[in-house]
């Protein structure tokens, strides 16, 4: 009897198996509806034979989970907005790796020690479902969204959780005359949006725009063009008249990654000519010198529109992010 009891105790003491580890590589924040990760994951399967499960966490949620799992990592790699990539390095949850082709990535788009490397970038603007506007005009400027006619029709991702949410705050702030030392223009703007029944989801909301649930969303050009050219309906991408910003997304190797060697091969592929070409087909701007195919380039807004999209020092923006988010939570939400 004592042997049976001991055996049962031993069984119950065993750690629970992690079903995710049945996959070859675990990537946090690889959602199929964002940046056409669905095509990238299929390509990785075809090229390397690796299965990577879909993961719908956003950047902030992914980092929080990686920190929680710091002593027993589950993820091998992660996809972050650059601001969260910088935070992840500071938290000590990454390990350096310089994928093949790393030397061809501009210095401003990679950590000098290889803790994160950008894979593509996008331009933030307005992803608009024209059919869901109910006959109202397509907004041309950030300030247009404060008009009563757009009440309950505008959405942006939560700046306290998602990278794209914070990018929206930076973009509005820059467009309305603010700086990394003065975010009052953005805070006042988002107060105005709050009074206009704005929608603030935490998760990727591409499908909610396509369905018409959110007629106008702060989002990137690559998602808007995907909607315009692949979905039924009438969609448009708007670069606001006051200006906006460009923003890189990065890939990282998690510290003590369970399948490090496979993970490194995945990162190599994503930065390869083939990998970068997949991003261009999804209307993303590659970080290596891989030109957009002419057929894809024709689908973008003209260069004169993109002249209003500026790059900013995301390292500086990361340093002030906590203070800005704290102020947003205190004064807006």
Task: List pLDDT tens digits, range 296-310.
Answer: 889 999 999 999 999
Q: What is the mean pLDDT of residues 234-258?
A: 97
Domain co-membership, 169 together with 254: no
Residue 291's pLDDT band, with cuts at 50, 70 and 90, is: confident
Residue 11 in domain: no
- What integer best gives the mean pLDDT of the chain? 92
Q: What is the mean pLDDT of residues 142-152?
A: 98
**Other Cβ atoms within 10 Å of 182 Cβ, number:** 11
Domain region containing 255: 24-121+248-297
> pTM (2 decimals)?
0.82
**Total of domains in the chain:** 2
Domain co-membership, 230 together with 324: yes
Closest CA to 62 of 122, 143, 116, 139: 116
Tell me, what's the pLDDT at 187? 98
Tell me, what's the pLDDT at 35? 85
Q: Is the pLDDT of residue 8 over 90?
A: no
Domain co-membership, 210 together with 256: no
Residue 16 in domain: no
Phi/psi at 287 (nearest 5 deg)? -90, -25
Residue 17's pLDDT band, with cuts at 50, 70 and 90, is: very low
Domain co-membership, 75 together with 188: no
Residue 201 in domain: yes
Domain co-membership, 276 together with 181: no
Domain co-membership, 207 together with 136: yes
Domain co-membership, 189 together with 156: yes
Give the Å distances, CA to CA, from 114 to 59, 86, 107, 204: 19, 11, 11, 27
Tell me, what's the pLDDT at 289? 87
Distance spanning both ends of the chain, measured CA to CA: 60
Instruction: Name residues whose C-beta falls within 8 Å of residue 144's C-beta, 6 or more positions apart in sequence.
Output: 150
Q: What is the mean pLDDT of residues 187-196?
A: 98
Residue range 42-68, pLDDT digits in tens: 999 999 999 999 998 989 999 999 999
Residue 22's pLDDT band, with cuts at 50, 70 and 90, is: low
Instruction: Name residues whose C-beta falls within 8 Å of residue 100's C-beta, 6 or more positions apart in sequence.
Output: 268, 271, 272
Q: How far is 32 from 40, CA to CA, in rounded Å?
A: 9
Burial, 17: exposed, middle or buried (Cβ in 10 Å; 0-12, 13-18, 19+)?
Answer: exposed
Q: Is the pLDDT of residue 2 over 50?
A: no
Token pair listed for 102:
């790393």
Domain co-membership, 180 together with 113: no
Domain co-membership, 111 together with 132: no
Domain co-membership, 234 together with 188: yes
Residue 4 in domain: no
Q: How far is 92 from 254, CA to CA, in rounded Å?
A: 9
93, 67 Cβ separation under 8 angstroms: yes
Phi/psi at 121 (nearest 5 deg)? -140, 160
- Count, residues in the chain: 333
Q: Is the pLDDT of residue 108 over 80?
A: yes
Q: What is the mean pLDDT of residues 189-204?
A: 94
Residue range 309-325, pLDDT digits in tens: 999 999 899 999 999 99
Instruction: Name residues whose C-beta falls within 8 Å of residue 311's C-beta, 6 or more positions apart in sequence.
Output: 108, 245, 246
Tell me, what's the pLDDT at 16? 39
Domain co-membership, 155 together with 275: no
Tell me, what's the pLDDT at 20? 54
Q: How far is 236 from 127, CA to CA, in rounded Å?
A: 6
Domain co-membership, 228 together with 95: no
**Which CATH number goes with the domain that contains 289?**
3.40.190.10
Tell me, what's the pLDDT at 292? 83
């Amino acid at each position: 009897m004592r042997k049976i009891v001991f055996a049962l105790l031993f069984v119950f003491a065993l750690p629970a198996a992690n079903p995710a580890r049945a996959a070859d590589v675990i990537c946090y924040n690889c959602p199929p509806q964002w940046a056409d990760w669905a095509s990238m994951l299929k390509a990785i399967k075809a090229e390397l034979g690796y299965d990577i499960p879909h993961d719908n966490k956003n950047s902030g949620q992914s980092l929080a989970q990686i920190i929680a799992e710091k002593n027993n990592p589950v993820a091998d790699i992660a996809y972050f907005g650059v601001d969260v990539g910088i935070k992840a390095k500071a938290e000590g949850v990454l390990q350096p790796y310089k994928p093949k082709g790393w030397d061809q990535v501009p210095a401003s788009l990679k950590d000098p020690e290889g803790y994160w490397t950008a894979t593509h970038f996008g331009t933030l603007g307005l992803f608009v479902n024209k059919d869901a506007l109910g006959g109202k005009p397509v907004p041309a400027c950030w300030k247009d969204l404060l008009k009563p006619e757009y009440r309950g029709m505008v959405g942006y991702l939560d700046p306290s959780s998602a990278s794209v949410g914070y990018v929206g705050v930076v973009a509005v702030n820059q467009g309305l005359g603010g700086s990394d030392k003065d975010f009052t223009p953005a805070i006042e703007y988002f107060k105005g949006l709050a009074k206009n029944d704005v929608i603030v989801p935490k998760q990727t909301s591409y499908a909610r725009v396509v369905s018409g649930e959110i007629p106008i969303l702060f989002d990137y050009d690559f998602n808007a063009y995907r909607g315009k050219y692949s979905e039924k309906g009438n969609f448009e991408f708007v670069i606001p008249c006051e200006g906006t910003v460009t923003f890189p997304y990065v890939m990282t190797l998690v510290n003590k990654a369970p399948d490090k060697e496979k993970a490194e091969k995945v990162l190599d592929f994503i930065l390869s000519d083939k990998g970068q070409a997949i991003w261009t087909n999804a209307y993303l701007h590659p970080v290596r010198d891989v030109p957009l195919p002419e057929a894809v380039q024709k689908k973008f807004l003209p260069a004169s529109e993109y002249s209003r999209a500026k790059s900013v020092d995301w390292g500086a923006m990361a340093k002030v992010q906590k203070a800005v988010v704290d102020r947003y939570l205190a004064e807006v939400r």
